[in-house]
């Protein structure tokens, strides 16, 4: 069994919040890689003002604690758009007013044109998303940011699944987050990871029954 580090309180609070809101649920779910996962994280369920505002607070707390310096936020379509806006609002509420931008899936040929919307993309740009599944969205974001003459400086996500990536049905020895940090040389800040979820499950009598299946999943697919 994998040894667990001392609890990260911010991560524990976030996991509890995700469970309470139904964003994190347990059962049997098929992932994009075709695996049967005992848990499912659906950031799309942060779908009202109160939960989205609380989610933004978690992101900002993690960002502030990291000390990462950035000039603006970029949210890749689609989930990243809402996240970027919400985090920008929370940062401003805490005294750090930064611009944000996002992309369209298809470039616009009229009006302002192009595929970027919002503030001018410049300086050190932080990419924000819910998870990193394969790194594809990050690669696309990096390309757009660099094409605009700016510098991607990091990625922040809600949950790091901490599991091996899979490409064309082939299991890799690294996770998508490790790919971004090691191959793309970008720091990734996650509010919580699979290890934090396991700590939460083992400490909550109402949820401890799920810990066996989640641990078995991590033993099989974890990095």
Kindly list the catalytic residues.
108, 110
φ/ψ region of 44 (left if φ > 0, alpha if ψ in -120 to 50, else beta) reads: alpha
| Dihedral pair phi/psi, residue 206, rounded to 5° | -75, -15
Q: Which residue has the tokens 């066996």?
A: 212
Secondary structure of 165-213 in the HEC alphabet? Answer: EEECCEEEEEEHHHHHHHHCCCCEEEEEEHHHHHHHHHHCCCCHHHHHH
Structural contact between residues 73 and 118, judged by C-beta atoms closer than 8 angstroms: no
Q: Is the dihedral of CA 168, 174, 175, 177 positive or negative?
A: negative
């Amino acid at each position: 069994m994998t040894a667990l580090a001392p609890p990260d309180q911010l991560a524990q609070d976030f996991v509890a919040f995700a469970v309470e809101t139904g964003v994190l649920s347990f059962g049997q779910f098929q992932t994009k890689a075709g695996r049967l996962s005992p848990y499912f994280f659906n950031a799309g369920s942060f779908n009202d003002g109160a939960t989205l505002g609380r989610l933004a607070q978690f992101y900002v707390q993690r960002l502030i604690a990291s000390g990462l310096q950035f000039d603006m936020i970029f949210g890749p379509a689609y989930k990243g758009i809402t996240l970027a806006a919400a985090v920008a609002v929370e940062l401003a509420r805490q005294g750090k007013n930064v611009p944000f931008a996002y992309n369209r899936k298809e470039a616009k040929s009229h009006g302002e044109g192009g595929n970027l919307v919002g503030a001018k993309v410049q300086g050190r740009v932080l990419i924000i998303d819910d998870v990193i599944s394969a790194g594809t969205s990050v690669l696309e974001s990096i390309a757009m940011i660099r094409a605009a003459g700016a510098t991607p400086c990091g990625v922040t996500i809600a949950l790091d699944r901490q599991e091996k990536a899979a490409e064309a049905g082939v299991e890799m020895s690294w996770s998508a987050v490790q790919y971004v940090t090691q191959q793309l040389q970008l720091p990734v800040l996650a509010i919580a990871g699979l290890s934090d979820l396991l700590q939460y499950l083992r400490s909550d009598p109402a949820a401890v029954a799920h810990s066996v299946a989640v641990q078995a999943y991590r033993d099989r697919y974890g990095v």
